[in-house]
Structure 1
Amino acid sequence: MDTSETSKTGSDEAPDASEASDIKPRGWRRWAMDTRPLRIPAYRRLWSSTIVTAVGSQLTAVAVPKQIFDITGSSAWVGAASMAGLVPLVVFALWGGAIADHMDRRKLLLVTNSGIAVTSVLFWVQAISGLDSVAVLMVLLAVQQAFWGLNAPARNASIARLVPESQLAAANALGSTVMQTGQVVGPLLAGVLIPVIGLPELYLIDAVALCVTVWAVYRLPSLPPLVAAAKKRAGVREIVDGFRYMSTHKVLLLSFLADIIAMVFGMPRALFPQLAAETYAPYGEGLALGLLFAAIPIGAVLGGLFSGTFSRAKRHGWMVIGAIVAWGLAITGFGLSGSLWLAVVFLAVAGIADMVSMVFRGAILLSAATDEMRGRMQGVFTVVVAGGPRLADVLHGSAGSAFGARPAVAGGGLLVVLAMLTLTLAAPALRRYRI
């Protein structure tokens, strides 16, 4: 049996900093976020760049649909723009994963971060010029998402080369917390800034922030392929090799299936507007909608801040299983809640569970895959993370129309629990995995 199904395949080139600092903390520090990876200068630079882009990218994420709606007055065009960004993201994430396994990842990060920054500048130029062209916006969005698809696998795959294996979960908790914080702070900041400075300046702020990111990446060490044979072109054959590799390493395949189960069956965001307008209308539709969208990210941030409670766990497989079952139960509770405040609590609990799942799924991908395959595994991970919630939007939207919003949400949560428990019993590789 492949050793990656029950234990790590071997740490490649992680710094030694580390293991000496693996002493369990005492007192309140046991509960607080594990910040040991930040003692490693290279990881600290990568993480610092994530702080800047987490908020800046959300400014553009708000500005683009807002500008499209202002031009067209149609939510259908906003949805079309979202799909226009999804296709290049999926294609280039898969290709970017192969490229990340065949060239210096630092160089790839420099090129792609620079490309994203230039795209943000072009967003600013079209906005300040008053072009008012939906076609231009959709093309720029597609280009930006293509660069992001190339960037994400290299960024995530680099973590295992910068921190030791025992700190991978802590490093993922740090990165995920920052990204989730950006999803809360970025939209709120955009909402405050739009009436004050206008849309064009949001694009400009993002572009300036990305320049800081480019500088942080420039200061990273070189990250060439560890295996000389990996230095070849990255094409379709290499992408296919990645899927073949994943199919023969059950723990990797199961980690992706676990995320698909959680997101497709259990992400009910498409029903938030209906719930705000019907179930929670007495609380105020606008307030209800804002709280529903913010609750999961807020819970995830809280989970990250107190990630010291779980990030040192060794049984990564069981942590993923437990987190996804908890997510399903919390979503079920949300669907059964007639009180807005109780619903927010259940969604926040789901957010905490999602953070735990993200931390350990990410750690499994980095430790169970060899370095020459990490980029491609991260490419698939990016596709799953981007595509799962969109499939959920279609599924939950249809179910909500057919059965009602609350039954659809509660039923989806129960499906998550049943499917995850079935997967756990049928395929033992995930529950056996530990570092």
Structure 2
Amino acid sequence: MTGPLGLPAFRRMWVAGFVSEIGDWILLVALPVYVYRLTGSVGSTATTFVVALLPSLALSPLAGVLADRWDRRRLMLCVSVAQALALLPLLTGDLVVVNVVMAVQAALAALFEPAKNALLPQLVGPDQVTAANGLVGLNTNLARLIGASLGGLVLGWSGLPGVLWADVASFLVAAVLLARPFGVVNRSGDARVFRAWLDGLREIRGPLRGMVAVVGLMALSQGMFVVLFVVFVAERLGGGEEEVGLLRGIQAIGGLAGGAAVGLLARRMSAWSLLGWSLVVFAVIAAVGWNGPYLTTAFGFFLVTFALCGAPGVTAGAGMMSVLQLHTSDAVRGRVLSTFMSLYDGFQALGMVLAGLLAVPLGLTVLLDVQAGLYLAAGLATFLIGFSSVRLAASSS
């Protein structure tokens, strides 16, 4: 059986997504550093991160409708070209312009992702969807390693103009790869956005209703992690910025292994099982890491622990996306996926807020174990929903 990379259309979309994500990471790393150098203000730098989160929440209805009503390849092509053009105002170097460009790029990326994820099942067979999502997860971690490194290096070597042209090049390469048709059916363009989005929401039924809880728990836990991780490294390990960066970066190494393993795991288990077991394993590793300081504070132990977290993190992402794709019809897949992406972002933001509010009254140790417990709860819920789904399918056949 030919793997997903043996299919030319998927291979081109896969490479285009990879190059585009490198551009996203270059910008995500370089612009906040540039803002901090320019202003010396942590608040101004934080604002740059915030404007990268808001567009995906605001554009969820539009992104999903466009992914379902327009030709998805052409939408991705137009977005890639628009991302390249939208970078040009950075030549001014103005702080306000930098934040506007960051917001526009985040908005365009929010349009790109639902189209890419909705298109994927059209390019591969149902039996290869999970393996294909694993390759996409592999892409994400490779892009993170390459793009994040390039963002800092290019900014140091040639300043903001160098970042601009490197990023422009990445988006134009992606556009070239997307220029040739994939040979799938085009979409139609006549739909009222809000009404069409509501029609898509009605498709969230059956197993997907349960996935609302699973995705919410995953995002809530991840939001807590983003905040608590920095405090954990500082208070429990006595580390600083370098240690925080190294431990966050090392997760991408495990992510590469997880992405490579998804294809093999997909042949032996369903998407439901892959998601459930990944979440349970992730919860166990997280609990070991959070409680590790009771036994040792040796930095090497935590390098290994957080590297291991990267693998189930990627396989869980591939399993989640595969479940959503396989239980959604092609006509509404873009709207359903964009809604779940918005749900994830919203609960992740809630997790960040809760971590900040509860860290003092509950204590860091309790809250860290709660964070791991949320992943465990998501895994157990996945098994229950998946079992019910299989049983329902068997009874109706």
TM over 0.5: yes
Deviations 1:386-425 (A, max 9, x none): 4443332222233333334343212211233245435644
Alignment of 1:347-362 (within 5 A): 347-362=306-321
| Counterpart in the other structure of 2:92 | 126
1:138 Cα deviation from its structure 2 partner: 2.0
- Which of 97, 112, 115 is residue 154 of structure 1 equivalent to? 115
Larger % of helix: which?
2
Distance change (3 Å), C-alpha of 1:395 and 1:433: farther
Corresponding residue for residue 233 of structure 1: 191
Name the CA distance, whole Å, in 1 between partners of 2:335 and 2:109.
Answer: 15
Residue by residue, what CA displacement relative to the aligned partner does 1:53-93 show, whole Å, maximum 9, x if unpaired? Answer: 22221110012211222232222222223222322222223
Q: Would you say 1:316 and 2:316 are equivalent positions? A: no
TM-score for both structures, normalised by structure 2? 0.89
Q: Tell me whether 1:100 sits opposite 2:67 in the alignment.
A: yes
Number of the residue aligned with 2:210: 254
The answer to whether the Cα contact below 8 Å between 2:16 and 2:177 also exists between their aligned partners in 1 is: yes
**1:60 corresponds to which residue?**
27
Q: In 2, distance between residues paired with 1:431 and 1:180?
A: 32
What is the CA deviation profile of residues 202-231 of structure 1, one whole-angstrom value per residue up to 9, with x for unaligned ones? 1210111110001111113254457xxx65
Q: 1:288 to 1:200 in 2, by over 3 A?
A: same
Is 1:299 the counterpart of 2:254? The answer is: yes
**Contact conserved, 1:315 with 1:433, CA < 8 A, in 2?**
no
CA distance in 1, matches of 2:39, 2:389: 48
Show the counterpart of 1:378.
337
How far, CA to CA, are the matches of 2:354 and 2:342 in structure 1? 18
What SS class does the counterpart of residue 101 from structure 1 fall into?
helix
Deviations along 1:340-359, whole A, 9 cap, x unmatched? 33333332232211111111
3-state SS of paired residue (1:306) = helix
Q: Match of 1:188?
A: 149
* CA shift in 2, pair 1:385/1:299, >3 Å: farther
| AA matched with 2:148 | P
Change (3 A) 1:386 1:433: farther
1:98 and 1:415 mapped to 2: Cα distance?
Answer: 32
User: 2-side partners of 1:404 and 1:346: how far apart?
Assistant: 22
Query: What displacement does 1:102 show?
Result: 1.2
Q: CA deviation at 1:182?
A: 1.4
Question: 2:391, 2:304 → 1: CA distance?
Answer: 32
Corresponding position of 1:32: none
Shift of 1:335: 1.1
Spell out, residue by residue over 1:158-192, the C-alpha distance to the aligned partner (whole angstroms, 9 max, x if none). 11111111111111111111111212232223233
Offset of residue 96 of structure 1: 1.3
Q: Is the 8 A contact 1:317 1:431 kept in 2?
A: no
**Deviation at 1:242?**
1.3
- Structure-2 separation of matches of 1:224 and 1:126: 42
Partner of 1:331: 286
User: What is the TM-score normalised by the length of structure 1?
Assistant: 0.82
User: Structure 1: which amino acid aligns with 2:147?
Assistant: G
Aligned length: 389
Quickly say closer, same or farther: Cα 1:292–1:408, change in 2 above 3 A. Answer: farther
Identity between Structure 1 and Structure 2 (%)? 24
Q: 1:309 to 1:39 in 2, by over 3 A?
A: closer
Q: 1:280 aligns with which of 237, 249, 265?
A: 237
Deviations 1:89-124 (A, max 9, x none): 22223311112111211221122111111112333x
Q: Which amino acid aligns with 2:179?
A: Y
Which deviates more, 86-95 or 384-393? Answer: 384-393
Map of 2:202 onto structure 1:
244
Contact 1:105 1:224 in 2 (8 A): no
When structure 1 is superposed on structure 2, of 209-218 and 175-184 the one drifting more is 175-184
Distance 1:386 1:113, change over 3 A: farther
- Of residues 30, 37, 51, the one that matches 2:18 is 51
Which of 209, 214, 227 matches 2:170? 209
Give the Cα separation in 2 of the matches to 1:174 and 1:424. 24
Residue 289 of structure 1: CA displacement? 1.0
Give distance in 2, aligned partners of 1:220 and 1:384: 32
Structure 1: which 5+ residue stretches go unaligned?
1-20, 23-35
CA contact (8 A) 1:92 1:147 kept: no
C-alpha distance in 2, partners of 1:434/1:152? 30
Aligned to 2:109, the other structure's residue is in SS state helix
What is the 5 A alignment of 1:215-226?
Answer: 215-221=176-182, 223-225=184-186
Instruction: Give the secondary structure class of the aligned counterpart of 1:245.
Output: coil
Instruction: Give the counterpart letter for 1:378 in structure 2.
Output: L
Matched residue SS, 1:310: helix
Q: What is the alpha-carbon distance in structure 1 between the residues aligned to residue 84 and residue 392 of structure 2?
A: 39
Which whole-Å CA distance do the structure 1 matches of 2:179 and 2:40 have between them?
42
The residue type paired with residue 200 of structure 2 is G
**More displaced stretch, 265-274 vs 323-332:** 265-274
- SS in structure 2 of the partner of residue 198 of structure 1: helix
For 1:67, give the aligned amino acid: Y
Which residue does 1:39 correspond to in 2?
Answer: 6
Q: 3-state DSSP class of the match of 1:317?
A: helix
Q: Runs of 5+ in structure 2 lacking a partner?
A: none
